[in-house]
Structure 1
């Protein structure tokens, strides 16, 4: 097989593995949030126990990227594809870790009556999943404009987080007996806000892949 043809096939394998990882992480975000909303401890424990699957796939992608750089010595756009793929996989794995952290909060709250409706968490989760879906599509299509638009969506996540922070701070100040659960819910909101930041980091890698320029979309 000609060298270029093999390299193109390797790049396609990289793309498919990253898409698989992205879909896996998307499902884990959904499951972790659902476990919290439904106070489903069984689902939470499954999210926690399945973390190794995400880690294994991320490690496989990392090894793939290192091998491509070592054996093919890519340059210009080809090198950017490998580097961007490597970093996107790292961000996705970190999102997987945050899903575990979120599921652990479900276990800490347990079956306690919730101190407030979790509308902010639902809204943030929906927006983050929308960002991740857009990011994966932009990665496949190498769509720089779509990737850059994710920064606006992240601003919306930040606004919801700020409101949730104020709501929970008010509960902690007025009802000291609810401080522990309020603190757990604040962590949950913070994790979801971090999901948005990681999605924006992914969008920065897509912009780099397409244009060769490094941009900061988290400002």
Structure 2
């Protein structure tokens, strides 16, 4: 196998790991909101336990990319792709952490009836999962325009987060004994809001990889 063919094979393996990581993170987020809504402790614990696999995938991606850089000295587009892959793996790992936070909140609130319907959280999680799916698809296709489109979805998450916070604060003001759960729900919403920011970061990295210029999306 010549040098270029070896590089392409290593690149293929990195792509497979990023795809696996993205699919797993997306699935964990969808599972976590179902666990939260239905108080499904078995599903919540499965999401929590899955975090170790996601962490191992991130490490594998970083190690492989570092090895390629050290042994093959890639330039220009190839170097941008490798740097982007490392950064995207880091963002996916953080997104996975937010799915775990959601699962842990479900476990913590298992015994308490929810003070409010979970419509905002469900919609935020669904939009976040769709963003992850779209961003990974954009990366696999190296489609900068799709990455830009995916980033715009973060606006809906931000709007729902602000509306949820106000809704909970209004409720807690009238029912101060429910403040602990209200605080936990706001905190959980904050994790989902930051998740959208991480996917936006991924989209910015895809644009950089394809076009060679840094952009700020969804300011």
Q: Give the structure-2-normalised TM-score.
A: 0.97
Residue matched to 1:198: 198
Please give the secondary structure, in 1, of the residue aligned with 2:215. Answer: coil
**1:197–1:218 Cα contact (<8 Å) kept:** no
**2:152–2:218 Cα contact (<8 Å) kept:** no
**1:26–1:132 Cα contact (<8 Å) kept:** yes
Shift of 1:150: 2.2
**1:131–1:153 Cα contact (<8 Å) kept:** yes
Residue matched to 1:29: 29
Structure 1 distance, partners of 2:192, 2:147, is 19
Shift of 1:129: 1.1
Residue matched to 2:213: 213
Residue matched to 2:13: 13
Residue matched to 2:115: 115
Shift of 1:218: 4.7
Residue matched to 2:136: 136
Residue matched to 1:43: 43
Structure 2 distance, partners of 1:44, 1:183, is 20
Shift of 1:215: 1.1
Unaligned runs of 5+ in 1: none
Structure 2 distance, partners of 1:46, 1:9, is 33
Shift of 1:151: 2.5
Residue matched to 1:124: 124
Residue matched to 2:83: 83
Unaligned runs of 5+ in 2: none
Tell me the C-alpha RMSD between the 2 structures: 1.0
Structure 2 distance, partners of 1:208, 1:90, is 16
Deviations 1:159-209 (A, max 9, x none): 111111110111121110111111111111111111111110110110011
Residue matched to 2:147: 147
Deviations 1:99-142 (A, max 9, x none): 11111111111121111110001111111111111101100111
Structure 1 distance, partners of 2:121, 2:72, is 45
**2:131–2:151 Cα contact (<8 Å) kept:** no
Shift of 1:49: 2.0
Q: Give the structure-1-normalised TM-score.
A: 0.97
Shift of 1:2: 0.8
Superposition misfits of 4+ residues, deviation over 3 angstroms: none
